Every structure is written in C-alpha cells, then in structure tokens.
Structure 1
Amino acid sequence: MNLVYQQVVQETLDQLEKLLTHNHRQQKELVSQLSGPIKEPSREQPAPSSYQQPITMYLGRFLKPYFKDKLTGLGPPANQETKEKTSRMTGCLDDRKLKMKRWESWQKTLLIHSVTRDSLRRQIQPKLSKVDYLSQKLSSAGETDRQQLREQIDSLERDIDLLR
C-alpha cells in the first residue's frame, strides 16, 4: 500500500509541477501585457537590451479601505451600518463575557486513557496486520517455510504482548 501511495503522491507532484510552470508562464505574459508595447529603438538612441523591466505594481491600493484620502491615507469615517456591525461582532466575541470552563478530573482521566488506547492501537495494528498476512501465507506454505513463518508469528505475538 505504501508503494501505491508513493506513486499517487509522485503523480500529484508531477501534475503540480506542470501547473506551476503554466502559472509562471501566464504570470510572465500578464506582466508583459501590463508593461505595454515595446517601443522601437530610434536611430539616435542606443538599442535597449532585450530584457524589459516589468511594471512594479503597488498592491496596497487594492486593499481595504478602498477609498483613501490622498493626504492622510485614511479611509472614510464609518457609517451607521458599519458601526452597528462592528458593535455586534465585538459584543459576541467579548473576552469578559466568555467563561473559561476548567476540565474536571474524570474528563482528564478519560482523555489520558483514550490517548493511551489510541497510541497502543496505532503501535499494535501494523503487527496484527503482519500476523494476519503471515498466517495466510502459512496455510499455503511448504513444510520448510512453515517453521520460519511460525517463528516470525511467535515473535510478533511476543512483541504485541510486550506492548500491551
């Protein structure tokens, strides 16, 4: 199963690589479109290099507040609807109104036991799967292989008992 999952992950990585290169190509095309047409060099000016500097865009003007005062850089004052909305949001999430409830001792004990059982199950499960596999193999194996398989099964069962 591990090998199958590795193949699936590798195929997904390959697909992501293709998408990433496609994305980079599209970004370059977009930047070249935004920078405008390339001017033909005049005879008086030296020929520019083949690399054209992309337009640097300041993304701050696309973020909130959308409309800013040129002098202060601040947005407009809040209207009545915005004030009500913010008062409702802060009223719901007021830290003073939220009460912190402590865990009771029986809840802590239950959590500890559950985590321990889950950890034990995660450690034992692969060994149990291997025992099942070896048991199936034992039923169809020859006499010489049976002894080795029984030793492996016994070893795994001892490991399981030690974990428990």
Structure 2
Amino acid sequence: MDDPQDDDPGHPRYWQNLFGEASTPFEAEPDQPVALDTLRALYSAVLSNYDFTCAMTGARFAPPSEFLHDELAIAAIRPLTAGGMLHVSNFLCLERHAAEAFRDGYISVGPGLELIVDLSQLDPELLERLNPLGKLTLPQVEIAHPDRTAIAFHREHVFLGHL
C-alpha cells in the first residue's frame, strides 16, 4: 500500500521520490541504419585524407592491400552514440593502439591541437611514439580537419570523464 507521505508535496519523501527517479538520457535513434557503402566510403576517406599517417604518432603506412588496414584505424572524436557526426571531420586516423587509448579516454586533444595524455593510464611505448612536437598531425584537405567542437566534447566527456 502506498504511503500517504509519498503523495504530499509538503513532505520531504515526496520530493526525494520525485527527484530520485532514474531518468534515461535522450539519444536520438537514426531514422535508418547507416548504409554499409557510406561507412566504407567514410573509412577510406579518413585514411586517404590523412595519407595513411597516424594523427598522433606521425607514423606513415602504405595503403592497405585489402580494404581494411592492418595498422591503422579510424576513431570517432565525438562518439556517434553521443551525437557525433558521420563526417570525416569527426574522425581521426590513428595507429590501432592510439585509437584504443583515444576511445578509452587515456589521450585527447587540447584546444591548440596539443596532445593531452593521462600518464597513469597510457602505455609507455605509445607515449614514446607520440609526435615529439606534442601536436596532432592534420590532413592536408581542410574539410577533413578535426571538428573543434567534437574535440572539446571528447576532452570534456571522454578524457575527463574517465578520470
């Protein structure tokens, strides 16, 4: 049986129940699943725009012999599930270990495109391979430059969110 205090706005329990309810954040579902051809084109475009070079280490690789690259991955800056765009400016071309660290929030990018790392979490071997200038390598095509809003989102929600 319900307690009458649960329905009385003058009683603290009413407000605790009201504000204590779990809420599910709104996440827009795409109207349709993304076509495989679109994903393949995005993947190829990101690798090509970065000239098969890791944006964080500067390591350059040959184009893949098959469709997928053995050494490189693409990583969403602002995850698609968090409202990230399905556009080349929302993706980085990274060595597989760098992509994993970026997704896990162990490495991010500052407002001046400087690399920011969590030294307590980042693999020391990856740290040694990072660009010695401490900056993100940009693609030559300006439309493919990382979106600054997405970078800020990653830094604030993914990088700082894991600390």
Q: TM-score range by the shorter chain?
A: under 0.3
Q: Looking at secondary structure, tell me which structure has more strand per residue.
A: 2
> What TM-score, normalized by structure 1, do the two folds share?
0.20
Q: Looking at secondary structure, tell me which structure has more helix per residue.
A: 1
> What TM-score, normalized by structure 2, do the two folds share?
0.20
